[in-house]
Structure 1
Amino acid sequence: MVVTRWRAVAIGFGITLVLSLVAGFVQQLALLGGVVGGLLGGWAAGYYARSGRISGVWNGFLAGSIGGLVAIGMLSIAGLAVSIAQLSLGGVFATLGVALSLLVLVLFHAIPATVGGLIGGMYPREDVDETSQPVA
């Protein structure tokens, strides 16, 4: 049974979003940043889900796809703000066209995040019980 752990998805989403935004603003990281961001975010979601490989895959997929959508939205808003500030109607249309075509690239976040979730779900986490008394 697939278990959705929203805390794990939020952790993976945060990692995916931060790395995707860094990749969006740093030209040298543009190609590799989305893949690495999705992979690391999916791994974190799968690891913190603590529910096995299948739930790790699901939580990683959610973290990667939601992170990709939000990153595209934020970068599109930044592009629209620049286009409007420069009073460029062509820039507005170009930004909207690029945003719509980037929705296909959400797969490039979701696929590595799914693989990362599988890898993260393979690691069983053991919580440490803090019920022991300290030694005096």
Structure 2
Amino acid sequence: MTDWRAVIIGFVVIVVLGIVGLTLPVVGQLAAGLVGGFVAGYLAGGGLGRGFWHGLLAGAFGGLVGGFLIAVAVGLIGWVGGPAGGLLTGVAGLGIFVVAVVVSFVMAVESAIAGAVGGVLDE
């Protein structure tokens, strides 16, 4: 059974560290996924598989929400440019969201591995 408390706390850690990690563009995001996944796995406990699952969920949610916010921001910026700007940046925002979904899967795997380590250390 999924411990949603652990997933939500791991997700919040990913979001907060991801925002702070914007100062170090690639390293900050990787660290956010690793630390958030570890926290989710450690809080869920129960071993390798359980930690993996909870880290995976926390990382996937973090990536999807981040991608959605970026896509909305690009769309809103285009809306200021009128109908043509809105159309162009709306398509760009949709493309960015698709890329963000792919990145969220990568972040989810990274967080899942860290969550598995956290789940093992909790035993």
When normalised by structure 2's length, the TM-score is 0.86
Which structure's residues are more often helix, by fraction? 2
Alignment partner, residue 128 of structure 1: none
Structure with max Cα Rg: 1
Map Cα deviations across residues 5-60 of structure 1 (whole Å, 9 max, x no partner). Answer: 1100000011112233444xx3x522223221111110000110122221011100
Aligned residues: 120
Distance in 1 of aligned mates of 2:91 and 2:19: 22
1:78 to 58, 67, 73: 73
Map Cα deviations across residues 44-92 of structure 1 (whole Å, 9 max, x no partner). Answer: 0011012222101110001101111111111211121111123313222
Of all paired residues, the percent bearing the same amino acid is: 35
Runs of 4+ with deviation above 6 angstroms: none
Q: Is the CA contact (8 Å cut-off) linking 1:49 and 1:56 kept in structure 2?
A: yes
Q: Is the CA contact (8 Å cut-off) linking 1:20 and 1:71 kept in structure 2?
A: no
Task: Could you tell me which runs of 5 or more consecutive residues in structure 2 were left unpaired when the two chains were aligned.
Answer: none
Distance in 2 of aligned mates of 1:72 and 1:33: 16
Q: Does 1:58 align with 2:53?
A: yes
Please identify, of 68-77 and 93-102, the stretch whose mean Cα deviation from structure 2 is larger. Answer: 93-102
Distance in 2 of aligned mates of 1:20 and 1:77: 18
1:14 to 2, 12, 15: 12
Task: Could you tell me which runs of 5 or more consecutive residues in structure 1 were left unpaired when the two chains were aligned.
Answer: 126-136
- CA change 1:83–1:110 in 2 (3 A) is same
When normalised by structure 1's length, the TM-score is 0.78
Q: Over the residues paired in the alignment, what is the CA RMSD in angstroms?
A: 1.7
